Chain A
């Protein structure tokens, strides 16, 4: 199979930016991605672009793809918008890999963008809710935080997971985000702060919930035929896996795992020929603290009953055995819905190319990204490795 490589990746700052538009944030991300390509890249090299966005607030709901690529000088090429809620741009990256593997493109821009902070609190809650199961879940009154809180209640009951363990997720991710200049909430927080925050959806408090965010992220992928034109230090897309599930939590067979994540991880590991023990780091979808704990077990890093202790023991800290969310994760770095999946790949690129600054890990070779849509109606996992890898190695 024709291999795809990560040759560059960049993001805008994540945060609340009244002076920016979705186009200006996208342009910043695109320019940062182009600047990160070691041998440089020209706009005309890009054969195709994929743009992930949910479209919070309405604005450019139709044709948001061309609306941003026209703004960065990508003219005439095929551009597609991908919508899979919070997994939109994880799926953009997957679609970019598909375009390259199929032979239809040599260089692809896979990206995402979202503006969330310029609408009212009630409006943003409405737009967050649109990815819930509408007929029963939403009309019973359950919010997005409410669905994850239901998973947390059951996790606590089944596995003895504690609020303190959930709070450790926030402490760890803020510790990392404080070293990420692009992070929205780039400050450290103590366990006391995290434990004492106001309740949002019991058992989840404010520090168990990620913020709403403006931001964009861009990833540049190249085929094995052209990768050497762009870099001497290629990063191979070793594995891609994706999966779906019933959108409503109540119709799933489990409330303490995200089966779509398990399907995605199994497929990505199988394609890559690597397993959880081979990973040097992972960027996982921590929209709520319980989501990070479930990701640990869904990705095979530990058993579900060990997830709480896995974070509380420091195993997933930057200097732990299995660093998770060195970027700060959705909790501290921020969660611009449509940009989040591509933004995770930006962190994987930075870690694997040694450009992660103060949060750089010691020479990592293999990393994973994990992006979930809604409460688990969709998920996508990528495994990246340094070098040409595969048959070319």
Chain B
């Protein structure tokens, strides 16, 4: 498999920067800043927004049936990451790690971290991992 051809910078990866469509308020994160994926505005007027590292689980799955070399159960969530200021949150996919399955529900607060998920031998494959904030763990 070839590596992802991301349109994003190291700065975006490391600082959770999104792009807010000035026409409809959609927050693109992290790769698209030319076209709005909701209202279709193009070229869209996108304003850079800072996203919080804490977000809320919108939905999730606990995957059990996976290729043999992948550890199960594997929980994966869609998480809303709010802006530092006013406006809509951005959405991100991410594995849930260091988290008990019982803690995972719609509405659970999690912390986002950008990590290398695996390497294809030449390039790292990066994506988000989320976990329930340590101090709030039961």
Q: Give A residues with C-beta under 8 Å from B.
A: 121-122, 125, 134-137, 139-143, 145-147, 149-151, 153-154, 157, 198-204, 246, 248-251, 253, 255
Q: Which residues of B are found within 8 Å of A143, using beta-carbon distances?
A: 63, 65-66
The reply to whether A150 and B61 form a contact with Cβ atoms under 8 Å apart is yes
In the assembled complex, the Cα of A246 lies from the Cα of B77 at a distance in Å of 18
Interface residues on B, range: 35 or more
Partner of A153, one of B67, B73, B106, B127: B106
In the assembled complex, the Cα of A137 lies from the Cα of B4 at a distance in Å of 12
Chain B 37-76: CB-based contact to A (< 8 A → 1; otherwise 0): 1100000000000000000001111111111101001101
Interface positions, chain B 82-97, Cβ under 8 Å from A, are 91-95
In the assembled complex, the Cα of A253 lies from the Cα of B37 at a distance in Å of 10
What's the nearest-Cβ distance from chain A to residue B138, in Å?
A: 20
Given contacts A146-B63, A150-B60, A255-B58, contact A140 B31 (CB under 8 A): no
What's the nearest-Cβ distance from chain B to residue A257, in Å?
A: 13
The residue of chain B having its C-beta at the shortest distance from the C-beta of A251 within the complex is B37
Q: Which residues of B are found within 8 Å of A145, using beta-carbon distances?
A: 61, 63, 65
Q: Which residues of B are found within 8 Å of A153, using beta-carbon distances?
A: 59-61, 106
Interface of A is mostly: helix
The reply to whether A134 and B60 form a contact with Cβ atoms under 8 Å apart is no
Most chain A beta-carbon contacts within 10 A, residue among B4, B76, B127: B76
What's the nearest-Cβ distance from chain A to residue B48, in Å?
A: 19
The reply to whether B38 and A253 form a contact with Cβ atoms under 8 Å apart is yes
The reply to whether B74 and A141 form a contact with Cβ atoms under 8 Å apart is yes
What's the nearest-Cβ distance from chain B to residue A130, in Å?
A: 11
A-B pairs, top 10 by smallest CB distance, nearest first, are: A149-B61, A140-B93, A154-B59, A202-B62, A157-B106, A146-B61, A150-B59, A200-B65, A250-B78, A199-B64
In the assembled complex, the Cα of A140 lies from the Cα of B127 at a distance in Å of 6
The reply to whether B61 and A139 form a contact with Cβ atoms under 8 Å apart is no
Given contacts A140-B128, A146-B76, A255-B59, contact A246 B37 (CB under 8 A): yes
Q: Which residues of B are found within 8 Å of A248, using beta-carbon distances?
A: 93
Q: A139-B125, A140-B93, A200-B64 are in contact. List 5 more A-B contacts (CB 8 A).
A: A134-B4, A135-B31, A146-B63, A198-B64, A251-B91
Interface of B is mostly: strand
Q: Give B residues with C-beta under 8 Å from A.
A: 4-6, 31, 37-38, 58-68, 70, 73-74, 76-78, 91-95, 105-107, 117, 125, 127-128
In the assembled complex, the Cα of A199 lies from the Cα of B73 at a distance in Å of 10
A to B CB contacts below 8 Å, 8 in the list: A121-B67, A125-B67, A134-B4, A142-B63, A153-B59, A153-B60, A198-B65, A248-B93
Partner of B61, one of A135, A136, A201, A253: A201
The reply to whether A142 and B38 form a contact with Cβ atoms under 8 Å apart is no
In the assembled complex, the Cα of A239 lies from the Cα of B59 at a distance in Å of 35
The reply to whether A202 and B73 form a contact with Cβ atoms under 8 Å apart is yes
The residue of chain A having its C-beta at the shortest distance from the C-beta of B67 within the complex is A122
The residue of chain B having its C-beta at the shortest distance from the C-beta of A245 within the complex is B37
What's the nearest-Cβ distance from chain B to residue A262, in Å?
A: 15
Q: Which residues of A are found within 8 Å of B77, using beta-carbon distances?
A: 150
Q: Which residues of B are found within 8 Å of A147, using beta-carbon distances?
A: 61
In the assembled complex, the Cα of A151 lies from the Cα of B106 at a distance in Å of 11
The residue of chain A having its C-beta at the shortest distance from the C-beta of B128 within the complex is A140
In the assembled complex, the Cα of A134 lies from the Cα of B59 at a distance in Å of 19
Given contacts A251-B37, A255-B58, contact A201 B31 (CB under 8 A): no
Q: Which residues of B are found within 8 Å of A149, using beta-carbon distances?
A: 61-63
What's the nearest-Cβ distance from chain A to residue B96, in Å?
A: 10
Q: Which residues of B are found within 8 Å of A246, using beta-carbon distances?
A: 37
Q: Which residues of B are found within 8 Å of A199, using beta-carbon distances?
A: 62, 64-65
Q: Which residues of B are found within 8 Å of A201, using beta-carbon distances?
A: 61-65
Q: Which residues of B are found within 8 Å of A136, using beta-carbon distances?
A: 92-93, 127
The residue of chain B having its C-beta at the shortest distance from the C-beta of A200 within the complex is B65
The reply to whether B78 and A249 form a contact with Cβ atoms under 8 Å apart is yes
What's the nearest-Cβ distance from chain B to residue A169, in Å?
A: 18
